Amino acid sequence: MKWRRVRAITIKEALQIVRDPRSLMIALLIPVLQMFLLGYGISLDVKHLPLCVYDQDKTTQSHDLLHRFSASPYFDTRPGLHNYAEVGRGLDTGNCRLAIVIPTGFSKGLADNGGSTVQALLDATDTNTASLAANYARAVIAGYSAQVQLDAIQSRGGQMQTVTPVEVRARVWFNEDLISRNFIIPGVVAMVMAIVGSQLSSLTIAREWERGTMELLISTPVQPMELMLGKLLPYFMVGMLDACICLALAMFWFDVPFRGTLIALFFTTGLFLLVVLCIGYYVSVSIRSQVGASQVALILTMLPTTLLSGFSFPIDQMPPVVQGVTYLISGRYYVTLLKALFLKGAPWSELSAPIACLTVYAAVMVVLAARSFHKTLD
Amino acid sequence: MTNPTSSGITAPQIIVEDLVKRFGDFIAINQVSFSVNRGEIMGFLGPNGAGKSTLLRVLCGLLHPNSGRAIVAGIDVAQDPEAVRRRIGYMSQKFSLYNDMSVVENLRFFGGVYGVSRRDIQDRLHFAVDMAGLGGREDSLVGTLAGGWKQRLALGAAILHKPAILFLDEPTSGVDPSSRRRFWELIHSLGEDGVSVLVSTHYMDEAEYCHRIALINHGKLIALGTPRELKRHALDGHLLELSGERIGTAIATLDQSTGMRNVAMFGSSLHALVDDAELRIPEFQAQLAAAGYVGITIRRIEPSLEDSFVQLVGGKK
């Protein structure tokens, strides 16, 4: 391998990147756009659920209960409804995801100490949200019940022990505030890097075929490995610039805590970028059209990184076969590493296994991509 | 098919033996054999789709031959295409430089991939720019250059590493006549420096510039020789031009003459193909005088390459 030739190709690619400022702008702006879109768009926190109430009782007690709902950050109480038809319409149109109906005699039941019921109607088209909403509603009502009980005992002049026999004291580690964004943003970074990296390199060989420059290029003594390294080097630079933008947005805009070392962060990001660049290059070699190559590269990198990296679905809850498949997904290692670095600040000893896997992965991809290119028109 | 060449006789730079290249059922090159000497300019002449480009691509190592051998610069192309690529320059039929890069950027790039040392590159750049006549346009984007400039630049890029052998695939197609002439002067000066040049064309007039011509049709080599040899060889006999008053009406008289193979109008005169010019010119003179034609001149002429090409391609179908 001659560095003279690698250098010539790198300079040529860099010139072509610079000569095409529109593509360069896209390469730098798309990650920003995706970070904002996905960073804000994907949130697993259920907050501000639209809530409708149909208060048939209209007493102080029913008002107290409803007040607890409107005070909760999880619900947004909509103006009161006056009949079941309106409740049905509210759920149908999606105006409310949860409807609370307080029946007539609610306060009477409480006063008679016979107990009362409240009806909750849930829109379960999104089961996850529905079950979370049901739990939140139960918690609100349980809080109210406890208060009612306490008030009743106290009004009778009694004393009550408010000690629960066993109490759970949960202390949450790594994402203390349970902000799902902290958990999601590192995954978004991985996804954006997968998309950008593969898109950058997916055009590079296909373009030479489409413009007719490939025939001359392969008539020169340039070696497949030289061609690949020379071509990927400038895209690696652009990709790392994109990585810096994404990581800076994650830390400083989305305030995701960062507890690892920057060296580890950039090293692993570089490895992952190399993998996705090689995938894009491989596709570009196999599919000699720019449009086709970019589409296939997008699917090959974005889909597995989204679905199988542990970014959106926890790997340990997948069926064993699918879990096995995830070991073949480079995004799995990168997402693991990013979460470890951002949220845990894990020591090198813990990072070494996924880093080793990613290194092997990158080495294999470099060889595969370089060898996929044949200097022939046959 | 001997090789009389104008330059010094050394071991042939290119030897092709029984070369066959198939694409599926289609035979693009059919049992082609020839050799090219050092400094020789060999033209491939043939209609579109005859197999000229395919042949050049096999010789560059871009296509793998199905059978036969191609030895370029002493190396079997099928065995070690990389070693061949270091010794050759190639101009593909389609313009293959980078339009979004300047003249110098393109040359530097090809200098780099051909492995021209950094010490030599500046000299070679100057040489290529001068040769292409691109002085003062070094920083122009290649996409903005006219066809003739582009082709000369492509030639400049192909010889940066001083290859011993050049393959040029229709280098002058779509270029105006004066630029074509200039291009051929460049090719000849390279030949004088000892570079063997294999050039394909479908322009008859260009083929005359070559030391030797290989006529190719339907993947077969149908004739090989100097332009002069081809013209003589192609036409079985001698070509006469008959001119004078009312000569057109003499066709019927002449058609039945002994030794006449073919006679036809050619502009305002007649072209007659005969077995022996020396013998027939006096006979025809006498015959025509007897028939009442006066002031008739008959002379032997060289057939054009086009005549022979049409004859050869038509005759061997």
Predicted confidence (pLDDT) per residue in B8-33, tens digit = 456 799 999 999 999 999 999 999 99
Q: What percent of chain A has pLDDT over 70?
A: 93
B140: left (phi over 0), alpha (psi -120 to 50) or beta: beta
The answer to whether A94 touches A117, Cβ cutoff 8 Å, is: no
The 10s digit of each residue's pLDDT in B54-91 is 999 999 999 999 999 999 999 999 999 999 999 999 99
The answer to whether A230 touches A4, Cβ cutoff 8 Å, is: no
Average pLDDT, chain B: 88
Give CA torsion, residues A17, A23, A27, A30, to 10 deg: 170
Position B317 scores a pLDDT of 33
Position A5 scores a pLDDT of 94
- Mean pLDDT to the nearest integer, A220-232: 95
Residues 6+ apart with CB under 8 A from B102: B138, B139, B140, B141, B142
The Cβ of residue A289 has, within 10 Å, a number of other Cβ atoms equal to: 15
| B104 at interface of A, judged by CB pairs closer than 8 A | no
Show residues of chain A in contact with B82, CB under 8 Å.
221, 223
* CB-count exposure of residue A35 (10 Å: 0-12, 13-18, 19+): buried
* CB-count exposure of residue B79 (10 Å: 0-12, 13-18, 19+): exposed
The H-assigned helical ranges of B93-203 are: 103-113, 118-132, 147-158, 177-192
DSSP 8-class letter at B117: -
Position B316 scores a pLDDT of 39
Q: Who has greater pLDDT, A153 or A355?
A: A355
Position A332 scores a pLDDT of 92
Count of helices and strands (H, E) across chain B: 11, 14
Closest Cβ opposite residue A221 in set B96, B105, B115: B115
Determine the distance from the C-alpha atom of residue A276 to the mean position of all C-alpha atoms in its chain, rounded to a whole number: 18
| B81 at interface of A, judged by CB pairs closer than 8 A | yes
Instruction: Report the largest interatomic distance among the alpha carbons of chain B, rounded to a whole angstrom.
Output: 79
Q: Is the pLDDT of residue B188 over 80?
A: yes
Closest Cβ opposite residue A212 in set B88, B94, B111: B94
CA neighbor of B96 nearest in space, from B43, B170, B161, B165: B170
The 10s digit of each residue's pLDDT in B241-262 is 898 888 888 888 888 888 888 7
Position B156 scores a pLDDT of 93
The 10s digit of each residue's pLDDT in B117-148 is 989 999 999 999 998 889 999 999 999 998 88
DSSP helix, strand, coil percent of chain A (3-state; round to 5): 65, 5, 30
A223 → chain B, closest CA residue: B82
pTM listed for this prediction: 0.78
CA neighbor of A66 nearest in space, from A140, A121, A138: A140
For tokens 């022939």, what's the residue?
Answer: A376
Residues 6+ apart with CB under 8 A from A323: A315, A316
pLDDT confidence of A179, banded at 50, 70, 90? low
- Mean pLDDT to the nearest integer, B24-51: 92
The answer to whether A256 touches A185, Cβ cutoff 8 Å, is: yes
| B94 at interface of A, judged by CB pairs closer than 8 A | yes
The answer to whether B170 touches B202, Cβ cutoff 8 Å, is: yes
Alpha carbon of A17: minimum distance to chain B alpha carbons (Å):
10
- Mean pLDDT to the nearest integer, A112-126: 83
